[in-house]
Structures are given as C-alpha cells and as structure tokens.
C-alpha cells in the first residue's frame, strides 16, 4: 500500500482555503480536516492571547489525526501546524518550541499556498486587516521554504485556483516517490 500523501491548503486569511480544501477532498473522495483555530476562535467570547496558542496547536493535531485516520491514499488538510507557527509569530512574536518542532515533524507532502489576490470578505471573526494579508503570505512562504517544504503557488480567479491545485496534486501523485524530496522549496 502506498504511503498517505498529505496536501495542505494554506495561506493568509480570507483567501479561500476552507472552500478549496473541501472541493479538493470532494474531488478525490477523501477526508479533509477543518482548521481548528477557526472553530476555537468562534467559541471564544474574547480576543485571543498567547495563552491560546498551545490549545489551538493541540486541537489542530487532533483534527489532522482524525482526517488522516479516515483517509487512504490522500488527505487534504485545511491548514496545519505551520499556520499555528506563522500566526503565533505574527501576533505574539514567537511560538512555543514544541509546536515548531511538531510542525516540522508533521510537515505535509505538498503545500498549496493561496495568494491574497482575491477580495477580502469579512466573516465576523477577529481577523487582520486586509492590508496585512501580503505580509502574512510572505511569512508563510518564508517558513515553508525555510523548512524545505514542497510548495505550489495558487493564485488568480477561483477557477484558476481550483485548476492549479488539481494540477499540482496530480503532478505530485504521478511523481516517483524517490524524486518527491528533490522538489521541495
């Protein structure tokens, strides 16, 4: 049996990650994890603090593990611990070392990095201003490249995003296992 391929849909806020992750999971008939931080934030009646980073990380791990347990060849993750690391650094200046170590250990096989080139849609949650999405996007790119992750840039219209993501996954799945590690970064 082939090892499980983890594809992560990631990037700054309001770039269509949740929608695209759900569409990809439906297309491939596989499981998809939900972004835990979003659900956590919805349940809070207050602004988040640095003390929330560790519970968010633990919840994200549980969500990922549950989706992985239901998957066979491919799993789609609506963000992963890399997001926890990037946002902890962004909001609080640092991230607990255990979370960074776990994020590296659990690094996905393919990251679909969504660009903030689509309209900002306010969703009522505590979010950055639209003008900071490019800054956060750069932080995602720097982290992923610094950790030698396989990254595909996803941008353009919704149809272009979907097509780019599907093509990237198909290319990744078609690559011989031995060559996949050579295509990181």
pLDDT in tens, 87-99: 999 999 999 999 9
Q: What is the DSSP letter of 4?
A: P
Q: Do β-strands 151-154 and 110-114 pair in parallel, antiparallel, or remain unpaired?
A: parallel
Mean predicted lDDT score pLDDT of the chain: 90
Q: In 10 A of CB 22, how many CB atoms?
A: 15
What is the C-alpha separation between 185 and 182, in angstroms, rounded? 9
Q: What's the average model confidence in pLDDT over 77-103?
A: 96
Task: Set out the domains of the chain in order of their start, with CATH numbers.
Answer: 5-183 (3.40.50.300)
Q: Which residue has the tokens 């490019």?
A: 134
Q: Are 88 and 18 in contact (CB under 8 A)?
A: no
Q: What is the pTM of this model?
A: 0.91
Q: What's the average model confidence in pLDDT over 8-20?
A: 93
Q: Say yes or no to pLDDT of 165 above 90.
A: yes
């Amino acid at each position: 049996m082939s090892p499980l391929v983890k594809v992560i849909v990631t990037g700054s806020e309001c770039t269509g990650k949740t929608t695209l992750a759900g569409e990809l999971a439906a297309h491939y008939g596989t499981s998809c994890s939900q972004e835990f931080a979003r659900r956590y934030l919805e349940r809070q009646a207050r602004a988040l603090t640095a003390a929330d980073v560790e519970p968010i990380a633990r919840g994200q791990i549980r969500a990922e593990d549950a989706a992985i347990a239901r998957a066979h060849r491919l799993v789609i993750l609506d963000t992963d611990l890399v997001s926890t690391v990037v946002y902890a650094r962004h909001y609080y200046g640092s991230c607990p070392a255990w979370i960074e170590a776990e994020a590296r250990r659990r690094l996905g096989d393919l990251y679909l990095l969504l660009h903030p080139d689509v309209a900002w849609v306010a969703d009522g949650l505590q979010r950055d201003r639209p003008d900071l999405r490019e800054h956060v996007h750069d932080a995602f790119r720097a982290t992923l490249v610094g950790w030698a992750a396989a990254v595909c840039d996803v941008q353009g219209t919704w149809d272009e995003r979907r097509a780019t993501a599907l093509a990237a996954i198909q290319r990744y799945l078609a690559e011989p296992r031995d060559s996949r590690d050579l295509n990181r970064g």
